[in-house]
Amino acid sequence: MEEKMDSLRRQMAQELLGRGVIKDPRIGRAFARVPRHIFLEGVIPPEQAYFDQAVMLKYPCSSVSQPQVMASMLEILDLQPGMKVLEIGTASGYNAALLAEIVGDPELIYSVEREKDLIPTARENLERSGYGEVNVAAGDGTLGWPHREEVPFERIIITAQTPSLPPPLTDQLKEGGKMVLPLVLGEDITLLVRVEKEDGLWGRVFPCPVSFVTLRGQGLQQKKKTWERQLSGLWRGIQRYCRSFPLDSPRLWGVFLFLLKELLEHKKTERPEVLWSRWQAEGRPETGEWLLEFDREGFISGVMRREG
Position 260 scores a pLDDT of 85
Residues 129 and 167 in one domain: yes
Residues 161 and 291 in one domain: no
Is 216 domain-assigned? no
Is 219 domain-assigned? no
Q: How many domains does the chain have?
A: 2
Sign of the CA dihedral with 8 first, then 14, 20, and 25 last: positive
Beta strands 189-197 and 173-186: pairing type? antiparallel
Residues 244 and 199 in one domain: no
Of 147, 174, 209, which closes a domain?
Answer: 209
Residues 243 and 298 in one domain: yes
Is 217 domain-assigned? no
Position 169 scores a pLDDT of 98
Position 255 scores a pLDDT of 80
Position 27 scores a pLDDT of 98
The residue ranges of the chain whose pLDDT is under 50 are none
Is 214 domain-assigned? no
The residue annotated as part of the active site, out of 65, 72, 111, 164, is: 65
CATH number for the domain that contains residue 154: 3.40.50.150
CA distance 256 to 4: 45
CA distance 140 to 48: 31
| Count of alpha carbons within 13 angstroms of residue 65, beta-carbon side | 24
Q: Is 65 a catalytic residue?
A: yes
Q: For 131-149, how does the pLDDT look when each residue is reduced to its tens digit (9 = 90+)?
A: 999 999 999 999 999 999 9
Position 210 scores a pLDDT of 92
- Burial of 147 from C-beta contacts in 10 A (0-12 / 13-18 / 19+): exposed
Position 284 scores a pLDDT of 60
Residues 129 and 273 in one domain: no
**Residue range of the domain that includes 204:** 2-209
